[in-house]
Structure formats: C-alpha cells, structure tokens
Amino acid sequence: MIRARAVCSSFVFVGTLAFVPGCGKDSTKADSNKKTADKGAVDKAPPDKGSADDKAPPTEAREWAWTLPKGLSEPPPVPAENPMTAAKVGLGHQLFMDKRLSGDGSRSCYSCHQNELGGADGRTLALGAGDKPLTRNTPTIWNVAYHQNGLYWDGRAPTLEKQMLGAWKGGNMGVGEDNLAAKAKEIGALPEYAPEFAVAFGLEPGAEVTPEHVAMAVSAYERTLLCGDTAFDKGEMDEAAQRGWDLFRGKASCSTCHAGDNLSDGAFHNVGTSHDASGALLADADVGQGKPSGAEENNYKFRTPTLRNVTKTAPYFHNGSVDDLTEVVRYMAAGGNAKAPGIDPNLRNTQLSEAEIADVVAFLGALECPGSLEVIGDQSVGGIPEGPIEAGPEAEPEPSPEAAN
C-alpha cells in the first residue's frame, strides 16, 4: 500500500490545490510522532468549477492532493467509500455554512464551530436549533479527521459521515430522523446545489439527493480543516513556551495522553470531571464512553481532546465546567480530581509551581493555528455565542448512539 505522504510530498502547492493521481488515497493512520518540515501552507479547497474533467467520469475517479501545514506529518485517513475530490469538498464547504440545513433555519454547522472561537462556540454547553439546550460543550472542528477512535466526547460516532447525520437529525441541527430524507431532497433540489451534487456524486439529472450525499460532502470538507503552522510547529516558540513544552512532555507528563501531531492519543480517560472535589458524582454527571461502549468500566471516560487552538475554545471539558485555561492546567497538573473514583492511573500530582503552570499555558498558546474557515453567507445566529446558558432540568437526556445529536 502506498502511503499518501510518500506520493504527495512532492506535490506541494502553496495557495492552490491540484489533483494528483494516486495521491490522498490509502492514507494510513497518522504517524503521530513524526514531525516533518518543508510543508506548504494549509489551504482552503475551492470547488473546481468549470473544469471539463468535472463532468464525466464522476469526480470520484480523481484524487485529491493534500497541502499539509507544518506539524502534520500525514494527511488524515479517508474512507474508501468517500474519496476526496475538489467538487465534493467545495460542496461540503457550502453546506457546512448553510443555515437552511437546520430544522428551523437558525443554524449552520458553522454556528457552533466558529473561527473566532477556535472552531467551537464559546458556550458552556451548546444550544441547538430551536434554542434547545444540549448536554455537552462544543469541541473544536480543527483536525477533527485525525480522531480515529470515534467522534464526539464519548466516541459514539465511528466516522465523520455518521457524526454528520447524527448532528443533522439530532438536537444540534434539529431536523429529526423522519424529516431527514425530505430535507436532503429539498436542499439537493435547490438550483444552486443541484448541479454541484450531480458533479460531486455523478448523479443523473433529476436524481434524488440523499442524506448520505450531504454527509459525504460535509465530511470531505471537514477532512480539509487542518490546524498546523503554529509557533510550535515552526519552531518559533518563545522561552516561556519552550519551557512549557519541556514540562509538558517531561515533569508534567501531559504527553502521556496529549500525544502526537494532534496532541491527543485518541483514547478515553476518566480525569475526574464527572465528580466534585469530595468525590461525589455530579448531579448532571455524564457517563461518557460508558454509554456507547455499554461497559461500566468506561463510565466517565472522555476522549483526550486536541490542544490545538485550545486558547480560543473556552470553556473547557466535556461539560464546559472550567472557564479558565490556567485553571485547567493547574487541575490536570495536580493529577485531576484525586477523590474521583476510577480516575486514570496516569494522572498524578506532578507538583508544578505556579511559574511552571504559566509556562505550560504559554506552550498551549504556541498551538494556535493561523488558518481560518472561509465563511460563506451571514452566520449571525441569535443566542450563539453568548453567556453560558446551563442546560436546565427541562434539557432532554443524551440521545442514544443511534439518534446521536
């Protein structure tokens, strides 16, 4: 099997994207410990409109060339069923930005995954379509395609495609399972979209657009949201950040879990965030991975989040329970919540001084990436982002993995 990077690395296009046969496919899992230099800047993926090659044969026949920012050594894996093409990525980009996808027309995917907020929404807990309070904090959308052990804090969605369908029919976008097919058909029939779906998926004129088509396009776009080129990646950290990095992988042993290019081991850990300081279960405690895995020993475990852009994604943790990044670092460095039962054995009090904690925070600041999602259309949404609105008692329980939000 040819590894994508071996083929692609000689085709780096700064500021543009090109098709390279045999490139971007079969990419293996990110080899997260390698760092390569000499990569071009991350780029947006414009739809390749107007190119004759876009018509027949279907664009799936063509491949995608990755332009990797510094710090990401491999392109994210791409499922064989949904190969990358410029037409599909461009379509997915528009769909990601389109409020008409939501049940009440109030929200696009971008509404909760915004540039200024590091690809999240700045809220303690998300507020879905119809202003429905959701039960979790919004994670960043950056580098989301590198998470290979399941998406969402609890890992319940195995692929981006499944995640998209869940977010779309569930509370986030509020379309509802029963209305999904009709919604996809309606979107696909819009004059601005119909030709794009036809090109991206090789559809016959008049063929119905399905929810799966929409999910495939959006997922292809999400796979292009790469966060790199940070001060850390470019070797341009100041002294405090450099000291912080040494602590991070040394004395503070953060890299036990926050490892690899994306600063996540992709694994699930109980770091004590579902219990209070006395070790009692929080009233609104979320069982995390315990639910989709059906195994009690996974209760209160959440996937290690990436730390890229983390300075912008406050509040933190799956429940948005901590607003301040320094406080999060202090908590993690102290071994998490020592009283919480079942806490991960890799967490211990690493005895960091306040000055050392400040250095680790400075290091996290060196993980801000310069890229931004190209916004299309008016993305103002009443109520998002605003001061935290806690999910009240009327908040609906977490949907099952099948009806995932």
Binding residues for ligand HEC, rule: CB under 6 A, are: 107, 109, 111-113, 121, 126-128, 134, 136, 138-139, 141, 144, 147, 151-153, 160, 163-164, 167-168, 172-173, 218, 222, 252-254, 256-258, 269, 271, 273, 302, 304-305, 307, 310, 313, 316-318, 328-329, 332-333, 344, 346-347, 360
In this complex, which beta carbon is closest to ligand HEC, that of residue 45 or of residue 254?
Answer: 254
In this complex, which beta carbon is closest to ligand HEC, that of residue 54 or of residue 161?
Answer: 161
In this complex, which beta carbon is closest to ligand HEC, that of residue 173 or of residue 237?
Answer: 173
| Cβ proximity of 93 and 50 under 8 Å | no
Sequence-separated (6 or more) residues with CB below 8 Å from residue 127: 133, 134, 383, 384, 389
Sequence-separated (6 or more) residues with CB below 8 Å from residue 151: 144, 157, 158, 159, 160, 162, 163
Sequence-separated (6 or more) residues with CB below 8 Å from residue 323: 314, 315, 316
| Cβ proximity of 140 and 264 under 8 Å | no
CA within 13 Å, CB half, 373 = 33
Q: For the chain, how long is the longest CA-to-CA vector? A: 66
In this complex, which beta carbon is closest to ligand HEC, that of residue 23 or of residue 90?
Answer: 90
Nearest distance from residue 395's CB to ligand HEC, in Å? 12
In this complex, which beta carbon is closest to ligand HEC, that of residue 20 or of residue 42?
Answer: 42
Residue type, 149: N
Nearest distance from residue 372's CB to ligand HEC, in Å? 17
In this complex, which beta carbon is closest to ligand HEC, that of residue 8 or of residue 220?
Answer: 220
* 55: enclosing H helix or E strand: none
Question: How many Å apart are CA 136 and CA 316, to the nearest integer?
Answer: 10
Question: How many Å apart are CA 332 and CA 271, to the nearest integer?
Answer: 8
Nearest distance from residue 201's CB to ligand HEC, in Å? 18
Nearest distance from residue 32's CB to ligand HEC, in Å? 15
Beta-carbon count within 10 A of 141 CB: 22
In this complex, which beta carbon is closest to ligand HEC, that of residue 39 or of residue 156?
Answer: 156
Nearest distance from residue 149's CB to ligand HEC, in Å? 10
Nearest distance from residue 75's CB to ligand HEC, in Å? 17
Nearest distance from residue 24's CB to ligand HEC, in Å? 20
Q: Residues, the chain, total?
A: 405
Strand pairing of 268-269 and 302-303? antiparallel
In this complex, which beta carbon is closest to ligand HEC, that of residue 109 or of residue 199?
Answer: 109
Sequence-separated (6 or more) residues with CB below 8 Å from residue 77: 27, 28, 29, 30, 145, 148
In this complex, which beta carbon is closest to ligand HEC, that of residue 164 or of residue 203?
Answer: 164
Nearest distance from residue 57's CB to ligand HEC, in Å? 28
Question: How many Å apart are CA 378 and CA 106, to the nearest integer?
Answer: 11
Nearest distance from residue 109's CB to ligand HEC, in Å? 3
Q: Computed over its alpha carbons, how large is the radius of gyration of the chain?
A: 21
Tokens representing residue 148 in the block: 């290979």
Nearest distance from residue 231's CB to ligand HEC, in Å? 17
Cis (ω within 30 of 0) for the bond into 315? Answer: yes
In this complex, which beta carbon is closest to ligand HEC, that of residue 27 or of residue 111?
Answer: 111
| Cβ proximity of 63 and 20 under 8 Å | yes
